[in-house]
Amino acid sequence: MDQQLARLLKNALDATEIREADDRVYFKVGDREKEIQKDFPLVIQVETSSYCNMICLGCPQKDMRRPRLFMELDLFKKIVDELSNHKSRVWLHYMGEPLMHPRIFELIELAAKKLSYFGMSSNGILLTRDRIERILDSGLHRFEISLDSLDPGLLDQLRPGGNPENIIENVHEFFRVKYDRGQKYPITSINYRELKENLRETGKFAAYWKKILREPDFVLAFPYERFGGHESAEHATYTVPHERRACLKLWNKVLILADGRLVACDAMFDGQVVMGDTRNSSIKEIWNSPTYHEMRQKHLEGRADELSICNVCDSWYREIGPKDFRNLTSENA
């Protein structure tokens, strides 16, 4: 374990039950179990499309100034070639809808040949029968469908851009086809953002899907993300403590924008702070670069306020605070 990681765990996060095994470090922060891959990010999001067909409440897509793009096949191949040497969890989405990419199934095919674990998220608008079949044939390990409500009126308020009745029907159709085929993979979650607006519906939503979903599929609830303080706090269901901690994301996650630039966290949706460029560097070079070292050091020294975006961000708390990504289907069992 390098010095910065040791300092993060022991001093900055007060981690307990620290255990090293192979390329991983396992630990707990409070009662949350955590994991880091030594020397390489554990979670990598590759933005196959920065185009989106929705304008969701709380999503900064609407304010993005960087060009909308579909990731080029050659760049995707370069990234996937490097990732094939690691056991990271790779996701094929970030700020856009991946199913809009005209060659998404070629990208998925490449990923399926090379990666030990990869997944993708969709907002459900383009989930036609044909695409459902192709997703089920694709080799994806995980698939996520975002759905914040079963009430068409509320869904249209939270995720405008599609026909809410059609989206809800597409989600049902996905599971009908999957279960007719008797398939386990991709393990599929319905991703439910908890906002003030839908909080009263959460129990009903979970109970409804519990009757339909078969294990290992599940409903995944997660707290509203403010994208580095860009989005309003009025929808958030949690309160961030005044005293901040070092941001764990700097040790376990990267995002690669559709043009190949690498950013350190979800908050950098517009490429505000770029750590490197995968068109001319490897992810590993960027991950171990002086730029990253310096940013981590500032967090360790309690100087995150000196960093652009970090100074207004509360997303560090989502990683270690009491609100976590929760499996609602088993919670309501």
- Contacts with ligand SF4 by CB under 6 A lie at 228, 247, 249-250, 264-265, 267, 304, 309-310, 313, 315-316
Nearest-angstrom CA–CA distance, 60 and 68 = 13
CB of 228 to ligand SF4, least distance (A): 5
Nearest-angstrom CA–CA distance, 210 and 202 = 12
Neighbours of 28 (CB within 10 A): 15
Q: Which is nearer to ligand SF4, 258 or 313 (CB)?
A: 313
CB of 236 to ligand SF4, least distance (A): 14
CB of 106 to ligand SF4, least distance (A): 32
CB of 58 to ligand SF4, least distance (A): 16
Nearest-angstrom CA–CA distance, 33 and 241 = 20
Contacts of 55 (CB under 8 A, 6+ apart): 61, 62, 160, 161
CB of 183 to ligand SF4, least distance (A): 35
Q: Which is nearer to ligand SF4, 136 or 246 (CB)?
A: 246
CB of 72 to ligand SF4, least distance (A): 26
Strand order in the sheet with 187-194: 274-277, 261-263, 253-256, 43-46, 89-91, 118-122, 142-146, 187-194, 218-223, 326-327
3-class secondary structure, 22: coil
Q: Which is nearer to ligand SF4, 206 or 309 (CB)?
A: 309
Closest of 247, 224, 229 to residue 325, by C-alpha = 224
